[in-house]
A = this chain, B = another copy of it.
Amino acid sequence: MSFFRWDLFFKVGAIMLLTAETSLLMYLYSKSRRRRGKAGVLSNTPVFHKVLFFPDKQIPCQKYLLSPKGCTRTKCFYSHDETSSFLQLIRHVLKSQRSIDLCIFSITCNELAHAVLLKYRQGAKVRVITDTEYMNLNGSKIPDFMTEGISVRHDRSSYLMHHKFLILDGNVVVTGSFNWTQSAVIGNNENVLVTNHADVVQPYLDEFDKLWAKFDVEKRG
């Protein structure tokens, strides 16, 4: 018979192992909660990434998209296809509730401008940053935004304010090569990435605020 208390050794060992595993599980649980919280900027939003490619095959139907009654034509030649890139893009804009921060080089697309105006009239806070030269070109929708009362700031430098991104409700970023023009929808090869991942959203939020302050004419006097 041994002097070593094997029964005590196993009991203490089991208690230590139980304590260690319980602590590890509690740590993993709290870490997963933190990660979920960080996922979107909003804590209860599951993370998503969506990539859209252009051109679409067909011009989107403006009535279907934006008229309160929808499209009432018996035969419509324009797209009602919810899987098309344009309809998916505009659905993201229309889904926003509180704010739209738009940082865009060129905007001449009727439907997208209309969607922003619609959200603005419904009470969303809209801020637009754009390029001085391009905002004054024929077909630009920036004058319509300004007439309506939307805050617009613009880059007066000789370089381009070449961004094409927007932030919806402070927690979804839309970025890519896509200017808001008609030819970008049905002609050009373009890509748009939509994501709510915090590691992407936060830098864009910071950059928007930085540029918003930078292009503030009143402050610059």
Residues of A within 8 A of B (CB): 14-15, 17-18, 21-22, 24-25, 28, 48-49, 51, 53, 55, 105, 155, 157-165, 175-178, 183-184, 187-191, 193, 195, 197, 199-200, 203-204, 207, 211
Contact = CB atoms under 8 A, between A and B. Distances in A.
A105 B177 contact: yes
A191 B175 contact: yes
Copies of this chain present: 2
Contact of A25 (B25, B178, B195, B207): B25
- Secondary structure dominating the interface of A: mixed
A204 B191 contact: yes
Given A22-B21, A25-B25, A207-B53, A160 B189 contact: yes
Contacts of A177: 105, 162-165, 175-177
A162 B189 contact: yes
B14 A21 contact: no
A189 B211 contact: yes
A212 B167 CA distance: 32
What 3 A-B pairs come out closest when comparing CB atoms? A159-B187, A51-B203, A21-B21
A160 B187 contact: yes
B164 A183 contact: no
